[in-house]
Amino acid sequence: MQTMLLYLLIMAVVIAAVFALVWFVFGRGEDLPPVERGTTLTRLPRAGITGDHVRQLVFSQSLRGYSAAEVDWAMEKLARELDELRGVVLDLQARDGTDHPHVADGDPAER
């Protein structure tokens, strides 16, 4: 019985030594330090957001789903981009309707 306990004790010491060695040599296995609280890895370009940018969005998960702050940020960014694009479209439509009366007349040489 004592021999068995001695073997278990030696095995525990060897396992602890190997674990400590691996811990110090390889670290905790993290490539990057943890993200600071209140920051996010979710990224979108400042302007010119494309469908691929939106498809590549990744939100961090919390206990009850995705991080609401990250989703709200992304939705606001997309809403601003859509508003800007809608404004450009309306400006172009207005310019085409008022600045180019010959296009409305149907003159094919002016197109």
User: What value does the mean pLDDT take over residues 64-73?
Assistant: 80
Q: Please report the pLDDT score of residue 104 as a whole number.
A: 44
Number of C-alpha atoms within 13 angstroms, CB side, residue 58? Answer: 2
Confidence band, pLDDT 50/70/90 cuts, at residue 35: low
Q: What pTM, to 2 d.p., does this model score?
A: 0.44
Check pLDDT > 50 for residue 21. yes
CA distance 58 to 54: 9
What is the separation of C-alpha 27 from the centre of its chain, rounded to a whole number of angstroms?
26
User: Is the separation of the CB atoms in 70 and 40 below 8 Å?
Assistant: yes
Q: Above 70 in pLDDT, residue 99?
A: no
- pLDDT in the model for residue 43: 74
Higher pLDDT, 3 or 104: 3
Which of the four pLDDT bands, split at 50, 70 and 90, describes residue 16?
very high
Is the pLDDT at 63 greater than 80? The verdict is no
For residues 9-16, give the mean pLDDT: 96
What pLDDT shows up at residue 8? 94
* Span 35-63, average pLDDT: 74
With CA atoms as reference, report the closest residue to 50 among 80, 86, 78, 91: 78
